[in-house]
Amino acid sequence: MSETVSTTIPARMTAIAIMRAGGPEVLGPAMIETPRPATGEVLIKVAAAGVNRPDVMQRQGLYPPPPGAPSTPGLEIAGTVVAVGDGVDPAMLGTRQCALVSGGGYAEYCVAVAGHCLPVPDGVALTEAAAIPETLLTVWSNVFERAMADEGDWLLVHGGTSGIGTMAIKLANLFGLKIIVTCGSEEKCDAALRIGATHAINYKTADFVEEVKRLTGGRGVDVVLDMISGDYVARNIACMAEDARHVTIAVQGGVEATIPMHKVLVKRLTLSGSTLRPRTDAFKTALVEEIAREVWPFVASGQLRPEIDATFPLEKIVDAHRRIDEGGHIGKIVLEVSA
C-alpha cells in the first residue's frame, strides 16, 4: 500500500470511543492510531461530523458496526483531504470534501472511500457540509429510488423535524412533492411548516390517519417514509393511496408489525425497507454519483442547505448526545472537530 500525502499527519489522534453500552456518559476521548488510506480511499482531516440516530443506537449496543468498519462512531464528515491511497486522483489532495463513512467520524482524522465523497462548494461551511451526506443519501435512495417518488406525489414522513424529516421536506420542495409530516408538539409542527412542509400533524393531539385522509381529500399518500415500524405500519397502510409505496428505514417503534394484507392486495401496495450502512461500496458510490448529478447542483446554488439545530465541540460529545436523546432538536446536530 502506498499513499500520497499533502501534510504531516500525526501517528496518533483523538477520537471518541464508546467505553460500554449505555447513555451519553459512556462516550469519551481516546488516543488511537491515525488511520491510513488504502487503495481507493482518502484520509480527511475532519473539521466537522454529523450526529445521527444510528450513532445513538451504536452507543446503546443496539447497532454494531459492520465487519471492517471502525468501532468508533460517526457516519458523516466534512474536512480537507490530506492523503490519498492508490488509485485516487492526487488532485483530491487539499480539497474540501464531505463524505459518508462506515464509522470513525467522531475523530480528528477519518478514512473515506473516494467514491463516497462529494466536493464542498464555495460558500458552504464545513459544519453545514457535515450535516448533509447521511440524511441526503438515505432520503434520496429510499424516497426517490426505492419508492420512485415523482413530481406531484404525496409523501408522508414521521418525525418531521428530525434530520431525516427536515431533509425530506427540503427535497420534497425541490422536486415537486407534497409532504405531510407528523411531529410531537405544536412548536415542532410550526418549525416543519417553516422549513417547507405542506402540512404538519401533531400526532399527540390528532389521529394522523384521519388527518392524512382529510388533507388528501380521501385519496391518501403515494409514498410513506417510515422510521417507526411496529404498530405504525398498519396505520401507515390506512393512509396510503392505490399503488402507493411504503419504505421502512428504522424500527424505533418495534421490529414486529401486523399487516392487513387485504389492504395491500386491494390497493396494490408495495412494502419495502432498507438500511444504508451495510450496503456495498459499489452501491454507495453509484448513489453518490447520482446525487452529484441530480441534487448537488442545488447545494452549490444555495437552494439546499441542511437544517442545523446545534453545534458542539468534539470534547462536548456527551452534551451533543444528550441533546439528541432529549428529542427536542429540530434538524441536525453537528460536532466541530478542528478549525
Q: pLDDT tens digit string along 194-248? A: 999 999 999 999 999 999 999 999 999 999 999 999 999 999 999 999 999 999 9
Q: pLDDT tens digit string along 42-78? A: 999 999 999 999 999 999 999 888 888 899 999 999 9
Is the pLDDT assigned to residue 190 strictly greater than 80? yes
pLDDT at position 92 is 97
Amino acid identity of residue 82, one-letter, is V
DSSP 323: H
CA 332 to chain centre: 9
Is the pLDDT assigned to residue 2 strictly greater than 90? no
Q: Is 153 left (phi over 0), alpha (psi -120 to 50) or beta?
A: beta
Q: Is the pTM of this model over 0.85?
A: yes
How far apart, in Å, are the Cα atoms of 275 and each of 2, 162, 235, 246, 248? 33, 17, 22, 14, 9
pLDDT at position 104 is 96
- The DSSP string of 84-116 is EETTS-GGGTT-EEEEE-SS--SBSEEEEEGGG
Domain boundaries, the chain: 3-132+277-336, 135-273
Which letter, b or e, does each residue of 266-291 get, where b requires 16 or more Cβ atoms within 10 Å of its Cβ? ebebbbeeeebbebeeeebbebbebb
- CATH, domain 3-132+277-336, list 3.90.180.10, 3.30.70.260, 1.10.3720.10, 3.60.15.10: 3.90.180.10
The domain covering 135-273 belongs, at the CATH homologous superfamily level, to: NAD(P)-binding Rossmann-like Domain (3.40.50.720)
Contact 132, 305 (CB under 8 A): no
